[in-house]
Structure 1
Amino acid sequence: MRTQPSEATLRRLERSSGALATQAVARMDEELSWFRAMPASQRSWVTLVAQAGIASLVEWCRNPGRPPRLTGEVFGAAPRELMQAVPLKRSVDLIKVTVEVVEDRVEQVAEPGDADRLRLTVLQFSREIAFAAAHVYASFAENRGAWDARLEALVVDALVRGDRSDELPGRAAALGWTETEPVVVLVGSAPPGEDDARAAVRRAARSLGCEVLVGVHADELVVVLGGAADLAQITSRVCREFGPGPVVLGPRVDSLAHAGESATVALAGLRAAAAWPGAPRPVEAEDLLPERALDGDPLARSALADRVVAPLQAAGAEVLETVRTVLGNGGNLEATARALFVHTNTVRYRLKRAAELTGYSATDPRGAWTLQLALALAQLEGGRSLWH
């Protein structure tokens, strides 16, 4: 007994596909409020998809054992953006409306005696195409995830290389990054399980309302953070997801276009951080200026010259000589006062002045180390006037 519609019915259905698609879209407009709110371009895509779906029904009737090739035959009629604009549940609603319209027109379309067979075939096809739609959406999500991962890796790699291309913000926007400030870069060792680490970093950052990009460069985990209301809180939380060893925070910049500058400084800090075993985690790259300078970082050497040496020179010989003498006496103020033939309070005043100018105290171990290294580098680089 024949169970499929006749060829004559299928030809009539084929000829009616345009009119049926138009009627289906009209009903969608009546019944689906979200469809009415769609832009005209997306509504026109749906019309094409509906028409392609009816054509696919005809082909499926001729080859009932073959599942509908939804990607090529149906959604191939519209851009891939349609699957982003219309989520799966709404897509099923569109299929349902289209099937209902075809069912309502079965009597007009089918040849005499063929209506029941066509109606049954339409019902079977609607079930098949609903399953096929779910598969296509799942495949699209998987492919989109893989594409996003590749794009994110390219963006982070460009930042690590110090690229300031105008294309970077656009690429990041495609990943959902919104233009925000401040932007900082956090670097450290990558833990085992690269994908799990990336996911954990994203969850941690987004739970605190922060934009985030994550990448692995060699064995280093690179995290770009944007718009953190409480930078200390977010960096403290995110650094838990790094592997063992130091985690270094680059300086703040005002946009993603300048994040390469923060990444460059953070990576220089990471290379030098081993020289400060007691560094906090995370440690700011700016706090690693002495170690970075020893490691040959020209930015760090320049910063020490500008922030330490130049202000001490400008303050005059007395302040500079007092700092040098305190450093030579291991921070002993009384010994310094005797060596300079001044009162201890004078030494304290001059050191306070030096700390105000440079941000470093000669009586603090970390500050003394920074001051001593900055002055030594200046001496090596030809600043002999510092000592005379």
Structure 2
Amino acid sequence: MAEAITKRRPPRHHGLSAKTLRQLERATGRLATASVAAMEARLPWFGRLTADQRASVLLITQAGAAGFVAWLRDSKEALKLTTEAFRDAPAELSRWISLRQAVGLVRLAIEVFEEELPEFAVNEAERAALIEGILRYGREIAFAAANSYAAAAEARGAWDARLEALVVDGIVRGDAEESVLSRAAALGWDPSLKATVLVGTPPSDDPPAVVFEVRSRAARVSRSVLLSVQGSRLVVVVGGPTDGTQKDREALGKLSLAFADGPVVAGPTVPSLAEAHHSAAEALSGLRAIVGWPAAPRPARSSELLPERALSGDAEAERRLIEEIAKPLEDAGPTLLTTVETYLESGGVLETCARELFVHPNTVRYRLKKASELTGRNPAEPRDALVLRIALTVGRLARARGIW
């Protein structure tokens, strides 16, 4: 007889009677509505949501209330039930509500439940059990929401990384400007920023570690960057000017510390990302040719590597050597050109050059100064002398081929 009575006795969960659980089930809609009303009254930003978004919050809150009752019935499945009840909520919420705002909604809903739940308890023991239950359930909800937001952030981060790699790859390959610009805009790149491409060797085989290193150094110099690891090379697009103030000039040097030991080459600074493929082409050409200049600075500008680039077959470097050096010297007249050629052939000895030309050394000095003003290269400097010599040689070869 006692066993039969025990079997017929309603089960009790968390110290709650079956009657209380049934009352809670019937009141889930009212509790959810009261929670949303409190959100509208206490949260200023909630009123700015659209009607559809507020309706979504109401449905999510109703699911949470129903999940609370189910959780009370079977606490062993608490985490599973909580996750299932809010499986779709964070994915939808994260589109228009931040994690901080979502946690605020959960906190406010828990407060409303705490205020409303005691009326369903038949005694003090059940009242205490309900309060304890909603606090524990709220904790599970908060953790579930945080995990979902974190997963969404990781997914967005992975997508952003793939999109960023596509942008940098498009710049390197010289893809259509519109496709590159639209993708860069999706990443938050300011289209009015100047752009400079840096290339070198990545400091690690671990891409996340490379990204962290580059971005942390870019943050220190307050620069926007786009980057991609392409096999054995690291390509970084740096936003902003790289000349002018000392701070601007030092930016590339500090960013080059994010690369592995070895050469780093910077292309020219272009007006916007739309022209960044020109900077990338010159930077990559410089990286291939920099082996010819062991004492090159780090980073080296692609314009400083014109002789090595020309010797490696870069037609653009040959064109610039002709237009910037050989042609201005020739246009200045045979006297100036002959003086520069004789000075270079004499090993940079002023007196020897003067004797060869039958002029006073001061005359040679004057002509060399004029040549330096025209070309930006001082024949008395060893590196500039090499550039002048290669430029004049390239010019002669181009003329012999009928190109110039």
Fold shared per TM-score above 0.5? yes
Q: Which runs of 5+ in 2 are unaligned?
A: 1-10
Relative to 1, partners in 2 of residues 1:111 and 1:245: Cα closer, same or farther, differing over 3 Å?
A: closer
| Among 300, 305, 318, the residue aligned to 1:283 | 300
Distance 2:402 2:23 in 1: 99
| Among 171, 182, 197, the residue aligned to 1:159 | 171
Residue 397 of structure 2 is aligned to residue 367 of structure 1: no
**Residue 226 of structure 2 aligns to a residue in which SS?**
strand
| Among 227, 231, 235, the residue aligned to 1:218 | 231
- What is the CA-CA distance between 1:72 and the residue it aligns to? 5.9
> What pairs with 1:117-266 in structure 2 (closer than 5 Å)?
121-194=133-206, 195-227=208-240, 230-266=247-283
Residue 12 of structure 2 is aligned to residue 2 of structure 1: yes
Residue 363 of structure 2 is aligned to residue 346 of structure 1: yes
Worse overlay, 167-176 or 259-268: 167-176
Distance 1:264 1:59 in 2: 63
Worse overlay, 70-79 or 5-14: 5-14
- Which residue of 1 is the match for residue 3 of structure 2? none
Distance 2:253 2:56 in 1: 47
**Residue 399 of structure 2 aligns to a residue in which SS?**
coil
- What is the CA-CA distance between 1:68 and the residue it aligns to? 4.6
Q: Deviations 1:176-206 (Å, cap 9, x if unpaired)?
A: 4334532211111112353323312211111
- Which residue of 1 is the match for residue 86 of structure 2? 74
Relative to 1, partners in 2 of residues 1:81 and 1:179: Cα closer, same or farther, differing over 3 Å?
A: farther
Distance 1:6 1:360 in 2: 94
Output the TM-score relative to the length of structure 2.
0.82
Distance 2:326 2:355 in 1: 25
- What is the CA-CA distance between 1:370 and the residue it aligns to? 1.0
| Among 299, 302, 309, the residue aligned to 2:326 | 309
- What is the CA-CA distance between 1:166 and the residue it aligns to? 1.8
- What is the CA-CA distance between 1:15 and the residue it aligns to? 6.3
Larger Cα-atom Rg: 2
Amino acid at match of 2:227: V
Relative to 1, partners in 2 of residues 1:70 and 1:360: Cα closer, same or farther, differing over 3 Å?
A: farther
Question: Is the 8 Å Cα contact of residues 35 and 109 (structure 2) preserved in structure 1?
Answer: yes
Q: Deviations 1:318-366 (Å, cap 9, x if unpaired)?
A: 2122222222222223222232333322322222222211111222211
Amino acid at match of 1:52: A
- Which residue of 2 is the match for residue 271 of structure 1? 288
| Among 99, 109, 131, the residue aligned to 1:98 | 109
| Among 39, 59, 68, the residue aligned to 1:57 | 68
Amino acid at match of 1:361: N
Distance 1:345 1:278 in 2: 32
Amino acid at match of 1:50: T
Question: Is the 8 Å Cα contact of residues 185 and 225 (structure 1) preserved in structure 2?
Answer: yes
| Among 328, 348, 358, the residue aligned to 2:375 | 358
**Residue 147 of structure 1 aligns to a residue in which SS?**
helix
Q: Deviations 1:246-273 (Å, cap 9, x if unpaired)?
A: 1111110122222222111111111111
Worse overlay, 167-176 or 253-262: 167-176
Question: Is the 8 Å Cα contact of residues 71 and 82 (structure 2) preserved in structure 1?
Answer: no
Q: Alpha carbon RMSD of aligned pairs, Å?
A: 3.3
Distance 1:137 1:384 in 2: 65
Question: Is the 8 Å Cα contact of residues 48 and 78 (structure 1) preserved in structure 2?
Answer: no
Amino acid at match of 1:266: A
Question: Is the 8 Å Cα contact of residues 208 and 234 (structure 1) preserved in structure 2?
Answer: yes
Relative to 1, partners in 2 of residues 1:332 and 1:384: Cα closer, same or farther, differing over 3 Å?
A: farther
Amino acid at match of 2:233: E
Amino acid at match of 2:348: G
Worse overlay, 202-211 or 143-152: 143-152
Q: Deviations 1:72-104 (Å, cap 9, x if unpaired)?
A: 6426146556267422x4422211211232344
Question: Is the 8 Å Cα contact of residues 118 and 130 (structure 2) preserved in structure 1?
Answer: no
Amino acid at match of 1:49: I
Amino acid at match of 1:367: D
Relative to 1, partners in 2 of residues 1:348 and 1:57: Cα closer, same or farther, differing over 3 Å?
A: same
Distance 1:180 1:72 in 2: 46
Output the TM-score relative to the length of structure 1.
0.85
Distance 2:274 2:378 in 1: 35
Residue 310 of structure 2 is aligned to residue 300 of structure 1: no
Amino acid at match of 1:236: G
Residue 39 of structure 2 is aligned to residue 28 of structure 1: yes
Q: Which runs of 5+ in 1 are unaligned?
A: none
Relative to 1, partners in 2 of residues 1:61 and 1:374: Cα closer, same or farther, differing over 3 Å?
A: same
Distance 2:62 2:171 in 1: 46
Distance 1:38 1:54 in 2: 22
Question: Is the 8 Å Cα contact of residues 82 and 141 (structure 2) preserved in structure 1?
Answer: yes
Question: Is the 8 Å Cα contact of residues 29 and 62 (structure 2) preserved in structure 1?
Answer: yes
Q: Deviations 1:33-73 (Å, cap 9, x if unpaired)?
A: 45456677755553443233234335545554322566664
Amino acid at match of 1:359: G
**Residue 382 of structure 1 aligns to a residue in which SS?**
helix
